[in-house]
Structure 1
Amino acid sequence: MGKSDELRTDPQQLAEAWQHTLPDWINEADSCTVVADESDNNAIRVTVHAAGHQMYSFDFKVTYVDSREVKAELVDVEKDGVHVDERTDIIQELIADYTRHLHECAQALHQLTHV
């Protein structure tokens, strides 16, 4: 990866763009919060609040590998504010869905991140 393909977008501007765009990619009833990662200028922190009775929230760290590609890492899953085992089938399915949505959102924001 050459220096020319590094992410050059302001972290705050990037987080705001994600906050604006990600709701278009996740389930309509779900909600999300996106903030800049204070310790990594190439990353944002995303929390997706799953709709429904489960009250699950999924915390992801989304790191830009370069201006086009992101790596989405699950940080935590909580139910009603309490950490839960993320190895259950339903949670694994939701993680896979949200990870895919994060990659789709990154593609949608390509014009912003690819200078």
Structure 2
Amino acid sequence: MSKTDVLTLDQNELTEAWRTTLPTLLNESDKAEVKADEHDPKSVRIHIRTAGHAMYSFDFLVTYVDSREVKVDLVDVEKDDQTVDERNDVIQNMVEDYIRHIHECAQALKKVTS
């Protein structure tokens, strides 16, 4: 039995849907930028900047496995524009929280992706 549940949404529409939905799921003070991935039409790149003194930024690659499921990869974490070791507990907790929000956004977008 072959899997036929594929993402059929145009990448520009997908990117725009993420742009409008993701900020509603993040902390009000966090800023998110969503861009189409240039190499994969089933992927978007998400850049999240935290507010406050921490000045962290997180880059994620979100790839649709099918019309409902996404794979989220952490690409980079920076503080004050310097790459940092993302293995410390504070950053790991923030990464897990953002990944959860990204999955929530994918769930919220099911109506447009399937």
TM bracket, shorter-chain basis: over 0.9
Q: Which residue is 2:3 aligned to?
A: 2
Tell me how far 1:80 sits from its aligned partner: 1.3
Is 1:25 the counterpart of 2:25 in the alignment? yes
Indicate the residue corresponding to 1:62 in structure 2: 62
- TM-score, length of structure 1 as denominator length: 0.96
Aligned-pair CA distance for 1:23: 0.5
Q: Which residue of 2 aligns with 1:13?
A: 13
Distance 2:38 2:108 in 1: 23
Q: Percent identity?
A: 57
Match of 2:39 in 1: 39
Structure 1 distance, partners of 2:10, 2:57, is 26
SS of corresponding position for 1:61? strand
If the length of structure 2 is used for normalisation, what is the TM-score? 0.96
Secondary structure in 1 matching 2:47: strand
Separation (CA, whole Å) in 1 of partners of 2:8 and 2:51: 34
Aligned-CA RMSD value: 0.8
Q: Structure 1, residues 15-39: CA drift from partner, whole Å, max 9, x if none?
A: 1110100011111110100000010
**Partner SS, residue 15 of structure 2:** helix
Unaligned 5+ segments in structure 2 are none
Q: Provide the residue aligned with 2:91 in structure 1.
A: 91
Show the counterpart of 1:100. 100
